[in-house]
Every structure is written in structure tokens, then in C-alpha cells.
Amino acid sequence: MRILVLAGGEGRRIGGLKPQRLLGGESLLDRALRFARAWSDEVEVADGGSDAPGIGGPLGAVAGALAKGGDFLTIACDMPFLPHDLAERLARTEAAAALAESGGRLHPVCALWRARAADGLAAYLATGRRSLHGFAEAVGYEAVEWGTDPVDAFFNINDEDDLARAEAMLSNAL
């Protein structure tokens, strides 16, 4: 299965260049790539260059990947504690999209997108909406739940405080 690492955000709340920020001496992007390569030999980084033209944000990356065909998994480079069974558990579903969920929150950036989701893209874009969650609703999704104890595997880093918390979480895990 192809893995698409979402790394195209500007990261303004953390001072820019979020994928290059260090956690435990490793960039967030390198950490995400290490996870992705454990699941597949087909790994791509979505940094904006391969997005579908005219579609911004993560949906642009997903649309670009759908245009290539085949099923694929998306993960976000700012979620440094992803569960090791993410790809396997999401692949068990038959829905057009399988979204990770933890603590009652959906994480559409961590999702398995089936090739058939492409059939609903044009109609969704015609609504003017651009969220991954909305697109998943439009094509039909299944949520796959993970627990949050001892930590939420889908904790994401948006600012310096989050990065400091992630460092503490990493230190406590060692």
C-alpha cells in the first residue's frame, strides 16, 4: 500500500518549517517517514508540489494521490506517536475511507483512502467545501477507534507548547 506523508502546511503557529522541527533529535518529517517505511516501500511526501491544482490543504494532496489511482494511506508529519497498527487496522475496513479516531475525535489526516473515493471528488469540490472530514463524509467512511491511555497516539504538534509536551512524552516513554 502506498503511504502519503502530509507535510505541506505552513506551520505558522510554530514559526514555520514544521516538518523540519526536531523531536528527540529527529525531524518530524524523518520520524513520519520512518513510520511510513515500516508499513510500505511506496512512500511519498506531500509537500504541496504533488497536490491537485487549485485545491489547497490536505484535500489537495489527497486529490493528487487519487489521480494516480490505487488505495493509499495518509499520515501527518506532525503526529509523532502514531500507532504501529495504523495501516493494518485501517485496511480491515471496506469503506471508501477509513479514518482514525481517538478520544471521540476523528483524525482525517490519518486515513486509508480507497481508489473509488475518486468517484466522489468532483461532486464534493462542486460544493465549495475543502475539508478532508467533509470529503470522507461525502464518499462514505468508517471510523476506527484507538484508545488514549497512556497517551493519545494521534497527539499533534501545532505550536511550541505542543512540541515541549511531545518532548516530555518522548522522555517519559524511554
User: pTM value?
Assistant: 0.95
For residue range 121-173, list pLDDT tens digits in order.
Answer: 999 999 999 999 999 999 999 999 999 998 999 999 999 999 999 999 998 87
Measured CA angle at 52 (ends 136, 58), to 5 deg: 45
For residue range 84-107, list pLDDT tens digits in order.
Answer: 999 999 999 999 999 999 999 999
The count of C-alpha atoms lying within 13 angstroms of the C-alpha of 83, restricted to the half-sphere facing its C-beta, is: 23
Look-up of cell digits 514544521: 18
- Per DSSP, 125 falls in state H
pLDDT number for residue 174 = 57
Domains within the chain, CATH numbers bracketed: 2-173 (3.90.550.10)
C-alpha cell at 128: 465549495
Residue at 122: amino acid letter = A
